[in-house]
Amino acid sequence: MSEKMELRVGKKGEIYTTHEVREKVGIMPGGKVLASIRGHELVVQPKLTALSLLEKPRINVEPLRLEELSKLRKELAERLEAR
C-alpha cells in the first residue's frame, strides 16, 4: 500500500519534503538519497550507509562453531582448486 502526499517544488526545481515524509522513509538531514525513474514516476530512497546496514535487524540464526567453519572453509578451498 502506498501513501500519496503533496510536496512543494521550488523555483529552481527543488523538491521539498516534510519532516513526516523524511521520517517515514528514513532520510536524515545531511544524508544522501538515490533517485530512480520508473516510467513516469520519480522514486527517491535513502542511500544506505555502513551505519544504517549495521542497524538493520539481523537474521536469527545460530552462529557457526569453529569446527563447522573449518569444514566449510576446507570444502570451499577444494571446490576452488577443482576449477
For residue range 9-58, list pLDDT tens digits in order: 999 999 999 999 999 888 988 889 999 999 999 999 999 888 777 777 77
Read off the CATH number of the domain in which 2 is found.
2.10.260
Q: Is 66 a member of any domain?
A: no
Q: Is 77 a member of any domain?
A: no
The secondary structure of 31-63, three-state, reads CCEEEEEECCEEEEEECCCHHHHHHCCCCCCCC
Q: Is 25 a member of any domain?
A: yes
The boundaries of the domain holding residue 29 are 1-56
Q: Is 52 a member of any domain?
A: yes
Q: Is 21 a member of any domain?
A: yes
Q: Provide the domain count of the chain.
A: 1
Q: Is 20 a member of any domain?
A: yes
Q: Residue 3: what pLDDT?
A: 84
Q: Is 8 a member of any domain?
A: yes
